[in-house]
Amino acid sequence: MCRSMGWITLLLGLLCVVSQTRGQENHLTCGKRKVVSQYLIHNGIDAKAGHWPWHVALFHRKDAQYEYACGGSILDENTILTASHCVYTQSGVISISRVSVDVGRIHLNESSEYTQTHLVREIIVHPGFSKNSIVNDIALIKLSSNITMNKYVQPVCLWTMDSNQELIVGRNGTIVGFGVNEQDVVSEQLKQALIGVVDPLSCIADDRGVFGTHLTSDMFCGKGQKGVSACNGDSGGGMFFEIGGKWFVRGLVSFTPLGTEQCDSLKNTAYTDVAKYLEWIKPYIDQRVLSYDSDVLNIDYVEKLRLFNFETCGRKSSAYVKNGTTWTLPWLGFVGPWYDLNSRCTITLISEWYAVGPAHCLSTNSVDSIVIFGSDIHQSKTECFDRDRSYDGTIVCTHPSQARRIKRIIEHQKFGSNSYENNIALIELYSPLDTMQPNVQPICMPVTSELRTNAKTNLHVAMNTSEEAAYTHKNTPVRFIESVECVRRYSEHKIELKLENNRFCTEVADQQDVLNCTSFQAGAPLQEMKMLNGTERYFLRGVELHGLVCDLQAPAIYFDAEAYLDWILYNMRENV
- Read off the pLDDT of residues 160-177 as tens digits, 9 standing for 90 and up: 888 888 888 888 888 988
Q: Which of 185, 228, 81, 92 is nearest to 143 (CA)?
A: 81
| Gyration radius (Cα) of the chain, Å | 27
> What domains lie within the chain, and their CATH numbers?
45-289 (2.40.10.120), 301-571 (2.40.10.10)
340: pLDDT strictly greater than 70: no
Q: What's the confidence (pLDDT) of residue 25? A: 45
Quote the distance between the C-alpha of residue 431 and its chain's center: 16
Q: How confident is the model at residue 444 (pLDDT cuts 50, 70, 90)?
A: very high
Higher-confidence residue: 4 or 385? 385
> Which residues, listed in sequence order, are joined to residue 556 by a DSSP beta bridge?
506
User: What's the confidence (pLDDT) of residue 93?
Assistant: 95
Read off the pTM. 0.58
Q: Please choose, from the candidates 189, 176, 101, the residue with its C-alpha nearest in 3D space to the C-alpha of residue 146.
A: 101
> 3-state SS string over 27-42?
CCCCCCCCCCCCCCCC
**How far is it, in rounded angstroms, from Cα 316 to Cα 360?**
28
Does residue 274 contact residue 252 with C-beta atoms inside 8 Å? yes
Model pLDDT, residue 298: 54
User: For residue range 502-547, what is the model confidence (pLDDT) as tens digits?
Assistant: 899 998 887 777 666 766 778 889 999 998 888 999 999 999 988 8
DSSP 340: -
pLDDT at position 56 over 60: yes
Residue 3 is inside which H or E element, if any?
A: none
More confident residue, 378 or 563: 563
As a whole number, mean pLDDT of residues 241-269 equals 73
Per the CB < 8 A criterion, the answer to whether 273 and 161 are in contact is: no
Q: Is pLDDT of 57 > 70? A: yes
Q: What is the mean pLDDT of residues 64-79?
A: 93
| Mean pLDDT, the chain, whole residue set | 80
pLDDT in tens, 13-28: 333 333 333 333 455 7
Query: How far is C-alpha 370 from the chain's CA centre?
Result: 17
Determine the distance from the C-alpha atom of residue 314 to the mean position of all C-alpha atoms in its chain, rounded to a whole number: 25
With H, G, I as helix, E, B as strand and everything else as coil, classify residue 569: helix
Q: How far is CA 410 from the centre of its chain?
A: 2
Confidence of residue 109 (pLDDT cuts 50, 70, 90): confident
List Cβ neighbours of 176 (8 Å cut-off, separation of 6 or more). Answer: 47, 52, 55, 71, 190, 191, 192, 233, 234, 237, 238, 240
Residue 567 has pLDDT above 80, yes or no: yes
Q: Do the Cβ atoms of 429 and 405 come closer than 8 Å?
A: yes
